[in-house]
Amino acid sequence: MGQPTPARTATRTRATDRDWWRDAVIYQVYVRSFADGDGDGTGDLAGVRSRLPYLAQLGVDALWFNPWYPSPMKDGGYDVADYRGIDPAFGTLAEAEKLIAEARELGIRTIVDIVPNHVSDRHPWFRAAVAAGPGSPERELFHFRPGRGAHGELPPNDWPSQFVGSTEPVWTRLPDGEWYLHLFTPEQPDLNWAHPVVRQEHEDILRFWFERGVAGVRIDSAALLAKDPALPDLAAGPDPHPFVDRDELHDVYRAWRRVADAYDGVFVGEVWLPDPERFARYLRPDELHTAFNFSFLSCPWDAGRLRGSIDSTLAEHAPVGAPATWVLCNHDVTRTVTRYGRADTGFDFATKAFGTPADLALGTRRARAAALLSLALPGAVYLYQGEELGLPEADVPVDRLHDPMYFRSGGADPGRDGCRVPLPWTADAPHAGFGSGEEPWLPQPVGWGAYAVDRQQHDADSLLTLYRRAIAARPAFGTGPLTWLPAPEGVLAFTRGRDESRTDAICVLNLAATPTELPPHTGLLLTSGPLDDTGRLPRDTAAWLTP
Ligand code: GLC
CATH number at residue 146: 3.90.400
Q: How far is CA 143 from CA 78, 211, 228, 252, in A?
A: 19, 31, 11, 18
Spatial CA neighbour of 346 closest among 414, 296, 392, 397: 296
- Looking at residue 521, which CATH number applies to its domain? 2.60.40.1180
Alpha-carbon distance of 466 to 372, in angstroms, equals 9
Angle between helices 360-376 and 463-473 (to 10 degrees): 10
Atom of ligand 1 nearest to the CA of 183: 6
95: annotated active-site residue: no
Residues 287 and 215 in one domain: yes
Contacts of 251 (CB under 8 A, 6+ apart): none
Residues 162 and 257 in one domain: no
Contacts of 428 (CB under 8 A, 6+ apart): 449
Cis preceding linkage at 169, omega within 30? no
Structure-derived torsion over alpha carbons of residues 357, 360, 364, 365, reported in degrees to the nearest 10: -90
Residues 374 and 460 in one domain: yes
Domain contains 540 = yes
Residues 154 and 42 in one domain: no
Please give the DSSP secondary-structure letter assigned to residue 355. Answer: T
Q: How far apart are the CA of 411 and the centre of ligand 1, in A?
A: 19
Residue where one domain finishes, among candidates 443, 471, 499: 471
- Looking at residue 252, which CATH number applies to its domain? 3.20.20.80
Pocket test for ligand 1, best of 31, 221, 347 (most atoms within 8 A of CB): 221
Residues 316 and 443 in one domain: yes
Pocket test for ligand 1, best of 31, 75, 185 (most atoms within 8 A of CB): 75
> What is the bridge-based pairing of β-strands 109-114 and 144-145?
unpaired
Give the domain range for residue 539: 480-546
pTM summary value: 0.96
Residue where one domain finishes, among candidates 139, 157, 181: 181
Residues 416 and 536 in one domain: no
Domain contains 1 = no
Residues 209 and 356 in one domain: yes
Domain contains 317 = yes
How many domains does the chain fold into?
3
Q: 415-429: string of b/e by CB count within 10 Å (b at 16+)? A: bbbbbbbbbbbbbee
Residues 422 and 386 in one domain: yes
Hey, whose CA ends up nearest to atom 7 of ligand 1? 221
Residues in the chain: 547
Residue where one domain finishes, among candidates 181, 214, 229: 181
Q: How far apart are the CA of 163 and the centre of ligand 1, in A?
A: 9
Residues 340 and 459 in one domain: yes
Domain contains 3 = no
Q: How far apart are the CA of 221 and the centre of ligand 1, in A?
A: 7
264: annotated active-site residue: no
Pocket test for ligand 1, best of 78, 117, 118, 185 (most atoms within 8 A of CB): 78
How many CA atoms lie less than 13 Å away from 163 in the CB half-sphere? 26
Alpha-carbon distance of 414 to 81, in angstroms, equals 27
Out of 270, 316, 403, 540, pick the active-site residue. 270
Q: How far is CA 523 from CA 157, 464, 505, 526, in A?
A: 62, 23, 10, 9
Out of 220, 245, 332, 417, pick the active-site residue. 220
Residues 96 and 128 in one domain: no
Contacts of 269 (CB under 8 A, 6+ apart): 218, 219, 222, 223, 253, 282, 288, 290, 291, 292
Domain contains 86 = yes
Per-residue pLDDT of the chain (547 residues; tens, 9 = 90+): 333 333 333 343 444 488 999 999 999 999 999 999 999 999 999 999 999 999 999 999 999 999 999 999 999 999 999 999 999 999 999 999 999 999 999 999 999 999 999 999 999 999 999 999 999 999 999 999 999 999 999 999 999 999 988 888 999 999 999 999 999 999 999 999 999 999 999 999 999 999 999 999 999 999 999 999 999 999 989 899 999 999 999 999 999 999 999 999 999 999 999 999 999 999 999 999 999 999 999 999 999 999 999 999 999 999 999 999 999 999 999 999 999 999 999 999 999 999 999 999 999 999 999 999 999 999 999 999 999 999 999 999 999 999 999 999 999 999 999 999 999 999 999 999 999 999 999 999 999 999 999 999 999 999 999 999 999 999 999 999 999 999 999 999 999 998 888 889 999 999 999 999 999 999 999 999 999 999 999 999 999 999 9
Residues 378 and 458 in one domain: yes
Alpha-carbon distance of 223 to 234, in angstroms, equals 17
Residues 247 and 100 in one domain: yes
Domain contains 2 = no
Between CA 208 and CA 217, with CA 213 as vertex, the angle to 5 degrees is 65
Hey, whose CA ends up nearest to atom 9 of ligand 1? 332
Domain contains 186 = no
Atom of ligand 1 nearest to the CA of 332: 9
Alpha-carbon distance of 304 to 319, in angstroms, equals 24
Domain contains 188 = no
> What is the bridge-based pairing of β-strands 25-29 and 62-65?
parallel
